[in-house]
Chains A and B, each alone.
Chain A
Amino acid sequence: MASNQAEISRFNERSLVELVNHEHEASGKAICIPSRTREVALKAGLALLLILAMTFIALPVVALFLKSPLDTIFSSLQDPVVMDALQLSLTTSTLTTSIVVLMGTPVAYVSARFHYFGKDMADSLIDLPVIMPPAVAGIALLMAFGRMGILGHYLNAFGISIAFTTLAVIIAQVFVSSPFYIRQARTSFEDVDLAFENAARTLGASRIYTFFHVILPIAMNGLISGAIMAFARSLGEFGATIMFAGNFQGRTQTMPLAIYTAMQGDLDVSLCLAIILVAISFVVIVLVKTLTGRVYKKC
């Protein structure tokens, strides 16, 4: 009797285990199918979002090209408004980039390597023009360097007037584009392993020799991409320039200002200038991507 009872209880246990396993399998299948469906639905949703985002960005750019026939663009290139704006923009942006690189490189290096009193404040101040609305930057520059400005007031006494001149265009561009270079340069200098600097010093190199022969070449790609970003930003600068430098053809009317002005009269000129700026933007993106992709491996 006792052995029979034991057998029955073993049988019951086994059937219970089998039942549970069966239920698990069944529930597994039941869960499996919706989870796959969910995964496919999620991927489809993400793909749709991506396509929407791409279309949103691409559509205006494509529209720009579709709405401007090539022959109209070439004929507009002869327009003095286009030529003056193109020449002024390229000249001022090149000068701006040179100033930003010359002044920004030591600032970025000091910011990357040294700690000093008020460093956090200085770093925030450097970054400020990135988030400051361009119109605010323009009026701030006017209050500083304008005829009645804090500094401009004294300069005016010596017969020096900055506002509404080509120099004002450059100052506005330097103000808004310098953070783009300094931030990138600071990151590039921070990425240079301190061991390279130390190795150079023990091999007999002074701080200056080390900077020019070791640190600068290693950080160079980052610095160039920062300079390109600053160039692109100054080329597209509008708000601060129109507030501080005005809108005078050949003197302060850069390409974005010319696009705005021409919009009210000759749309072809606007489109021609816009296409030139789009082309430059593409070149900038390709250059920055290529340069930032070429980073030296650690040795």
Chain B
Amino acid sequence: MLEIDVKKRLRDFDLKVKLDVARGKTLMLVGDNGCGKTTLLNLVAGLDNPDKGRIALDGRALYDSDSQTNIPPEARGIGYVFQSYALFPHMSIYDNVAFGLRTRRMPPGEIKILVKDRLEAAGLWEIRKAKAADVSGGQKQRVALARALIIEPRLLLLDEPLSALDVRKQAAMRKGLSETIRACAVPCIIVTHDLRDVACLGDQACLLERGELALHGGAEEVLRWGSELDAKS
């Protein structure tokens, strides 16, 4: 279970979020550009610090302003797929996926077996020697996901994982992504702009507006939000 209760002063508004994501559940985070979605993911990952509050995963505090706990990102065990995928350009696909295991000083033999399994499962073994910059958008997305999952994360964060792909690829990748996330059985937060992602990948969804949760509910309720927001305004 992931528990978030944080406050952070951003340039134009305050980010104030309180939410929980249960193990094996996927929370879809939607909202306009600049409403604080990526900042929230960075706070959970430890790449940025809240001003106040608490972030806990499976009962263990990752950040707690009261007890001054702040676990560094490398010790949080979080799988993060960045919007740009952030594949290391000087490394091959194989080395990108092996990176997280090498930082854990795992024996090379073990790394080889795990990376091979992961790349074969993702259909990437044939292009393992290619440089990250030379593969297609869809392959980059699968490499980024494989790289995040190989470390067996306790939490998954995906920042617009399908936005860099064209529409036809998105449909196929969405299905594969949904299956992969379910198989992990960890809490997962996905930032998206696309309501089809919400319907297909999410168990619950949040609408973030200027740093605050405007709406929170089941993924199937998302389509009703448009009319609710119109009624509010």
How far is the CB of B193 from the nearest CB of chain A, in Å? Answer: 19
Contacts of A218 in B (CB 8 A): 88-90
Contacts of A260 in B (CB 8 A): none
Judged by a CB distance under 8 angstroms, whether B205 is at the interface is no
CB-based nearest A residue for B47: A198
Contact residues of B between 48 and 101, Cβ < 8 Å to A: 72-80, 82, 84-90, 99-100
Residues A204 and B88 in contact in the complex (CB < 8 Å), given A199-B80, A296-B133: no
A191-221: CB near B (< 8 Å → 1, else 0) gives 0010110111111111001000110011010
B119-148: CB near A (< 8 Å → 1, else 0) gives 000000000000011000000100000011
**Chain B CB within 10 Å, residue with most, of A200, A202, A214, A297:** A202
CB-based nearest A residue for B73: A201
Judged by a CB distance under 8 angstroms, whether A36 is at the interface is no
Contacts of A202 in B (CB 8 A): 45-47, 73-74, 76, 78-80, 148
In the bound assembly, the distance between CA atoms of A206 and B76 in angstroms comes to 12
Q: Total interface residues on A, using CB and 8 Å?
A: 22
Contacts of A196 in B (CB 8 A): 86, 88-89
B103 touches A299 (CB 8 A): no
Contacts of B77 in A (CB 8 A): 204
A200 touches B99 (CB 8 A): yes
Is chain A's binding surface mostly helix, strand, loop or mixed?
helix
B89 touches A298 (CB 8 A): yes
How far is the CB of B55 from the nearest CB of chain A, in Å? Answer: 14
Contacts of A213 in B (CB 8 A): 99
How far is the CB of B147 from the nearest CB of chain A, in Å? Answer: 7
In the bound assembly, the distance between CA atoms of A206 and B80 in angstroms comes to 16
In the bound assembly, the distance between CA atoms of A299 and B90 in angstroms comes to 10
B147 touches A193 (CB 8 A): no
How far is the CB of B49 from the nearest CB of chain A, in Å? Answer: 13
CB-based nearest A residue for B85: A299
How far is the CB of A219 from the nearest CB of chain B, in Å? Answer: 10
Contacts of A296 in B (CB 8 A): 89-90, 133
Contacts of B87 in A (CB 8 A): 199, 299
User: Which listed residue (A193, A203, A217) contacts B99, Cβ 8 A?
Assistant: A203
CB-based nearest A residue for B42: A198
How far is the CB of B21 from the nearest CB of chain A, in Å? Answer: 17
How far is the CB of B90 from the nearest CB of chain A, in Å? Answer: 5
Q: Total interface residues on B, using CB and 8 Å?
A: 31
User: Which listed residue (A193, A214, A299) contacts B133, Cβ 8 A?
Assistant: A299
How far is the CB of B124 from the nearest CB of chain A, in Å? Answer: 14
**Chain B CB within 10 Å, residue with most, of A198, A209, A220:** A198
A299 touches B74 (CB 8 A): no
A256-299: CB near B (< 8 Å → 1, else 0) gives 00000000000000000000000000000000000000001111
Residues A203 and B103 in contact in the complex (CB < 8 Å), given A193-B84, A298-B84: yes
Contacts of B73 in A (CB 8 A): 198, 201-202
B89 touches A299 (CB 8 A): yes
Residues A299 and B47 in contact in the complex (CB < 8 Å), given A196-B88, A203-B100, A205-B74: no
**Chain A CB within 10 Å, residue with most, of B100, B103, B147:** B103
**Chain A CB within 10 Å, residue with most, of B47, B74, B132:** B74
CB-based nearest B residue for A219: B90
Residues A201 and B74 in contact in the complex (CB < 8 Å), given A209-B103, A298-B84, A299-B133: yes
Judged by a CB distance under 8 angstroms, whether B151 is at the interface is yes
Contacts of B78 in A (CB 8 A): 202
How far is the CB of B63 from the nearest CB of chain A, in Å? Answer: 15
**Chain A CB within 10 Å, residue with most, of B77, B100, B151:** B100
Residues A199 and B86 in contact in the complex (CB < 8 Å), given A204-B74, A205-B74: yes
In the bound assembly, the distance between CA atoms of A217 and B92 in angstroms comes to 13
Judged by a CB distance under 8 angstroms, whether B104 is at the interface is yes
A201 touches B88 (CB 8 A): no
How far is the CB of B111 from the nearest CB of chain A, in Å? Answer: 13
Contact residues of A between 167 and 213, Cβ < 8 Å to B: 193, 195-196, 198-206, 209, 213
A195 touches B89 (CB 8 A): no
How far is the CB of B130 from the nearest CB of chain A, in Å? Answer: 11
In the bound assembly, the distance between CA atoms of A296 and B151 in angstroms comes to 26
Contacts of B72 in A (CB 8 A): 201, 206
Contact residues of B between 143 and 179, Cβ < 8 Å to A: 147-148, 151
In the bound assembly, the distance between CA atoms of A209 and B148 in angstroms comes to 18
Besides the known contacts A204-B77, A299-B89, 8 further A-B residue pairs in the complex with CB atoms under 8 A apart: A193-B86, A199-B82, A199-B86, A199-B87, A200-B88, A202-B45, A202-B79, A204-B151
Can you name 17 A-B residue pairings with CB atoms under 8 Å?
A: A195-B84, A195-B86, A196-B88, A198-B45, A198-B47, A198-B82, A199-B87, A200-B99, A201-B73, A202-B76, A203-B100, A204-B74, A204-B75, A206-B74, A214-B88, A217-B90, A218-B90
Q: Which 7 A-B pairs have the closest CB atoms?
A: A299-B87, A296-B89, A203-B100, A195-B86, A204-B103, A199-B86, A297-B133
